[in-house]
Amino acid sequence: MNTETVKIKQGKTKTTVRISGSEAVVKCLLAEGVDVLYGYPGGAIMPVYDELFKYQDKLHHVLTRHEQGATHAAQGYARISGKVGVVMATSGPGATNLVTGIADAQIDSTPLVCITGQVASHLLGSDAFQETDIVGISTPVTKWNHQITKASEIPEVIAKAFYIAKSGRPGPVLVDITKDAQFEEFNFNYEKCTGIRSYKPVPKTDILSIENAAKLINQAKKPMIIWGQGIILSEAEEQLKAVIEKAGIPSAWTILGASAIPTSHPLNIGMVGMHGNYAPNKLTNECDVLIAIGMRFDDRVTGDLNKYAKQAKVIHFEIDPAEIDKNVKTDVAVLGDAKESLSQLLSLLNENSHPEWHQKFKDLYAIEFEKVIKNDLHPTKEGLTMGEVLNEINMQSKGDAVIVSDVGQHQMIACRYAKFNQTKSNITSGGLGTMGFALPAAIGAKMAAPERDVVAIIGDGGYQMTIQELGTIFQTKVPVKIVVLNNEFLGMVRQWQQLFFDKRYASTEMTNPDFVAIAKGYHIEAKKVIKREELADAVKEMMACKDAYFLEVCVEKEDNVFPMVPSGASVSDIRLE
Amino acid sequence: MDKEIKSFTVSIYTENNIGLLNRISAIFQRRHINIESINSSFSEIEGVSRFTIVVNMTESQIKKIIGQIEKQVEVIKAYYHTDEEIIYQESCLFKIKSDLLFEERQIQNIIKESNAKIVTVNKEFFVLEKSGRKNEIELLYRELSAFGIMQFTRSGRIAVTKEEMKITEMLAAFNN
């Protein structure tokens, strides 16, 4: 390695080292504080892997069994740690296999930097072996992407990639590096990115908008808050709690906002949306001021927009200006970072308690408990319910576990019933609804929080979409708990077929393999529960196990998730049965 | 809610980077919006590109699209304007057989009245250039097509606004 002193602009001198592009990639990652990355090697990224081999004491590369698994693992890591998740893959199929995870990270605002190898620059556009236009393919699902064809671009582009992924509303970034740029030697010097002239990550907060928001909240008789993941991303949990408590506002959460405020908090009134709680959905159409914080009024949250909170004044706290008025017309938009805005708001709020308004939520909860929750959590019928499995996990984890859920019925049950004592405890694929998310995401989550129990709750369908990641668990010995709720159906689709397609169960019944044997094939301890009386002991054994553990629970085949806002209906037309 | 579909001219100031056209057009594509015309060039600011895109949609739709365009990392600023708020032009070229210029007297009158310009003439063909609004170009096209047009092409709309766009100050603010 040669060291030389290079004169750079403004007459300053800097010591640079002459290294290859591939070594520069590794040095950039180290400079950004990366200690773990997820990926899969291949021809066009081999020079970088060769450097990873040299730097393996500083940078832990986790070999997943499929590139999609690498993206979800990085997502799980990013969501728990608050850091950028890093993914590496080769060109062509390696790169295209990332697309689902990147799209998931884009819609759920998860910071990722994905580095892909690319064919040598002289081969670009020639249909070379394993060439694919990954920059073109990933454009609509990345916050930013860029192709590097010269080694000298590597430091600046990777610095920008990390800055863009993490700042403002986070998101995935892809950097594609041609193989010749990986081999090329250049004078390396790394400087972190601190700003880009065309990019304003956090819009300026207008104090007037906060004053207007405070005025509306202080005048409100029936205020209601819906918070989303924005609270967790801006680490505004304490500020939100202070606002809620001071103004006495019943507060609900979106699926990605779950766990920001403990489940047991008296003003936490549950989840909104299609399978959310009865009271917050119903009373969305009765509140007089609706305060949305760090959420984006997804259609699964709002149902029919023409019948959504029409009676209410709407206040929207949001970091992304493109979200304002996108779905719901706001009366007061407060742009900026939630943590900052909420602390400014707090001092302007009057103390309040709204006891009659609270009572309405309690009354509706009592109805939901009687009609739905009681039977889910404490069933008297023979078959096991998903809800009672969650209840058992709650009791044994005492609400301290990270719950990673996949997509479908079990996900709704997990988000409805999981108890959370601390923030960043609920990891799930919300916006994209990516089946196969949970198993690899749990790997990343556990690596980001080794001191916490991480329990993946997965359906029998989604489990089989990324089941190969059991190999990653076995090889890395990451001790995740895996619970498969097996109803031998693609349950949520089956539920819709039952309710809206006259029970024509087109391609939703699954003939499943011996899951326990498969887990054992990967040398993972495994158990299957069929009867209620076996459940508590099995969960206990799982939670006590120091290694990875697989638990299959055979649940009632044709249970439905309620409450439910039928697709296209108003939130206040939520059904309890 | 406004339901009226109008023509909007979108002006986007961007960094001059590969792939940005793709990123911007994808925003229209995902909402199933057809781009009527598109033009890209350098702008009045060094190193800054300018896209001019014409689309037909409602005002509430275009507002949302502008928000999604502006959120792209390399977009500096995006604006939308109605036809009344801008000065705009398109340009077109006609390739026509040279014989017609002498055989069909009418063609000479059409050229004069339309303020079109003859760019080149040779034995086989002549090329006519016309700048103006879409309807003027369409009128000229109809008149000339009666005699036969060998080739025709029209550019996308280019436009400047009547009101000032404070883009230079925005960039200056970043540099300070």
Task: Per-residue pLDDT tens, chain A, 577 aa: give them.
Answer: 444 444 444 555 567 889 999 999 999 999 999 999 999 999 999 999 999 999 999 999 999 999 999 999 999 999 999 999 999 999 999 999 999 999 999 999 999 999 999 999 999 999 999 999 999 999 999 999 999 999 999 999 999 999 999 999 999 999 999 999 999 999 999 999 999 999 999 999 999 999 999 999 999 999 999 999 999 999 999 999 999 999 999 999 999 999 999 999 999 999 999 999 999 999 999 999 999 999 999 999 999 999 999 999 999 999 999 999 999 999 999 999 999 999 999 999 999 999 999 999 999 999 999 999 999 999 999 999 999 999 999 999 999 999 999 999 999 999 999 999 999 999 999 999 999 999 999 999 999 999 999 999 999 999 999 999 999 999 999 999 999 999 999 999 999 999 999 999 999 999 999 999 999 999 999 999 999 999 999 999 999 999 999 999 999 999 999 999 999 999 999 999 9
Dmax (CA) for chain A in angstroms is: 80
Choosing from A143, A179, A282, A481, the catalytic residue is A179
- Among partner residues B14, B19, B70, which is closest to A135 by beta-carbon distance? B19
Neighbouring C-beta atoms of residue A377, cutoff 10 Å: 19
Predicted confidence at residue A13, as pLDDT, reads 58
Evaluate whether B6-87+158-175 and B89-154 have a shared fold: yes
What distance in Å separates the CA atoms of residue B32 and residue B24, rounded to the nearest whole number? 13
The residues spanned by each domain of chain B are 6-87+158-175, 89-154
What distance in Å separates the CA atoms of residue A503 and residue A99, rounded to the nearest whole number? 34
Which residues of chain A make contact with B45, given a CB cutoff of 8 A?
none
Cα angle A462-A463-A464, degrees, rounded to a multiple of 5: 90
DSSP H helical ranges for A32-131: 46-54, 67-81, 93-96, 99-107
Chain B residue closest in CA terms to A322: B67
- Among partner residues A164, A324, A326, which is closest to B73 by beta-carbon distance? A164
Which residues of chain B make contact with A322, given a CB cutoff of 8 A?
64, 67-68, 70-71
Q: Is the dihedral of CA A389, A392, A393, A394 positive or negative?
A: positive
What confidence tier does B3 reach under pLDDT thresholds 50, 70, 90? confident
Find out whether A517 and A539 touch, Cβ atoms under 8 Å.
Answer: no
ipTM: 0.91
What distance in Å separates the CA atoms of residue A451 and residue B133, rounded to the nearest whole number? 69
What confidence tier does B167 reach under pLDDT thresholds 50, 70, 90? confident
Residue B123: closest CA among B149, B92, B101: B101
Residue A406: closest CA among A446, A490, A487, A463: A463
Average pLDDT over residues B23-45: 95
**Residue that has been written with the tokens 């236009």 in this structure:** A133
Are residues B74 and A195, on separate chains, in Cβ contact within 8 Å?
no
A67 catalytic per annotation: yes
What distance in Å separates the CA atoms of residue B53 and residue B35, rounded to the nearest whole number? 7
Chain B residue closest in CA terms to A320: B71
Measured CB to CB, residues of chain A less than 8 Å from chain B are 135-136, 139-140, 143-147, 164, 195-199, 320-326
Predicted confidence at residue B176, as pLDDT, reads 56
Neighbouring C-beta atoms of residue B154, cutoff 10 Å: 16
Q: Is the pTM of this model over 0.80?
A: yes
Q: For an interface test with A, give the residue of B73, B76, B170, B171 to mutate (most A CBs within 10 A).
A: B73
**Domains identified in chain A and CATH numbers:** 17-188 (3.40.50.970), 207-360 (3.40.50.1220), 382-555 (3.40.50.970)
**Residue that has been written with the tokens 């319910």 in this structure:** A385
Choosing from A53, A129, A183, A501, the catalytic residue is A129
What distance in Å separates the CA atoms of residue A73 and residue A442, rounded to the nearest whole number? 7
Are residues B171 and A197, on separate chains, in Cβ contact within 8 Å?
yes
- Among partner residues A143, A321, A322, which is closest to B73 by beta-carbon distance? A143
Tell whether B44 is within 8 A of chain A (Cβ): no
Please give the order of strands across the beta sheet that includes A289-293. Answer: A268-271, A251-253, A223-227, A289-293, A313-318, A332-335
Which residues of chain A make contact with B30, given a CB cutoff of 8 A?
140
CATH of B89-154, one of 3.30.70.1150, 3.40.50.1110, 3.40.50.12780, 3.40.640.10: 3.30.70.1150
Cα angle A15-A21-A25, degrees, rounded to a multiple of 5: 90
What distance in Å separates the CA atoms of residue A89 and residue A43, rounded to the nearest whole number? 10
What distance in Å separates the CA atoms of residue A80 and residue A72, rounded to the nearest whole number? 12
What confidence tier does B101 reach under pLDDT thresholds 50, 70, 90? confident
What confidence tier does B173 reach under pLDDT thresholds 50, 70, 90? confident
CATH superfamily of B6-87+158-175: ACT domain (3.30.70.260)
Tell whether B76 is within 8 A of chain A (Cβ): yes
In B21-40, the residues whose Cβ lies within 8 Å of chain A are 22-23, 26, 30
What distance in Å separates the CA atoms of residue A574 and residue A4, rounded to the nearest whole number? 69
Are residues B76 and A197, on separate chains, in Cβ contact within 8 Å?
yes
Report the mean per-residue pLDDT for chain B: 93
